[in-house]
Amino acid sequence: MRYFIELSYRGTAYHGWQTQANGSSVQSTLEAALTQRLRKPVFVVGSGRTDAGVHARQQFAHFDLVEPILLSDALIYSINCILPEDIAIRTIFPVRPNDHARFSAVSRYYQYHITRYKNSFENSLTYHFRPDLEIDRMNEACQILLKYTDFKSFSKARANVDHFRCRLDFAYWQRSESDLLTFHIKANRFLWGMVRTIVGTMLEIGQDRMSLDKFEQLIVAQDRTIAGRAAPANGLYLVDVGYPAELLAQRVLFG
């Protein structure tokens, strides 16, 4: 039997999603809780590998069991009681044997949050960035970004991938009434470090330190060394992972 887990987490205390030899990860913490509650070894596969300090409002993972389990609100509650406060399971539901948390996903949607004012309650949840930014120019850069599909210039050099192509659905900046600046971006896939590097580069544009022409040139150049520095991890959130409707057919929310 294969099951999907829908969960969320605050990534501040973790060395990313993937199990690490030198620190705690969301994956290993989740596996330990499931193993303890289900009384059998459980290994999970996530929809993607968020970096150290990155948060997820919605993440999916799958695991396999020989025997079916009785899904209920009590089961979800008991696992959440084992998990630390910064990881929460929303639901667990059965899927087909060939459904895969990573390879069956059709989209990922990220947000990056920036505030100009220091907030002692959100210091690890937003990026405190004081300089004024020209949001209109940053949104013009988004329109340039949407023209392309190869984003090697925004990928970490050590990325182990066959290609650097991604299909972007949207990319834009939005300012709220509380002066929270949010970058929205959705694609079928993302490269390692891609969103944070795009944000860091667009902050250069917003401060008039990089022209729109130069921004387009660096995309075409496919050279990470000429893009901006990556923005800090604490402002980045995985917000939504998209799947075909038939995969989510048995998804029931508990609690």
Task: Pick out the residues of the known binding site for substrate.
Answer: 110
For the annotated catalytic residues, the residue numbers are: 51
Which residues, at least 6 apart from 181, have a Cβ–Cβ distance to it below 8 Å? 113, 114, 115, 116, 133, 135, 173, 174, 175
SS3 251: coil
In the chain, alpha helices (H): 26-38, 73-82, 135-145, 194-206, 212-221
Residues 173 and 182: beta-carbon distance below 8 Å = yes
Half-sphere exposure of 131 (CA within 13 A, CB side): 11
CB atoms within 10 A of CB 37: 18
State the residue for tokens 């069956």: 104
CB atoms within 10 A of CB 90: 17
**Annotated binding-site residue numbers:** 110
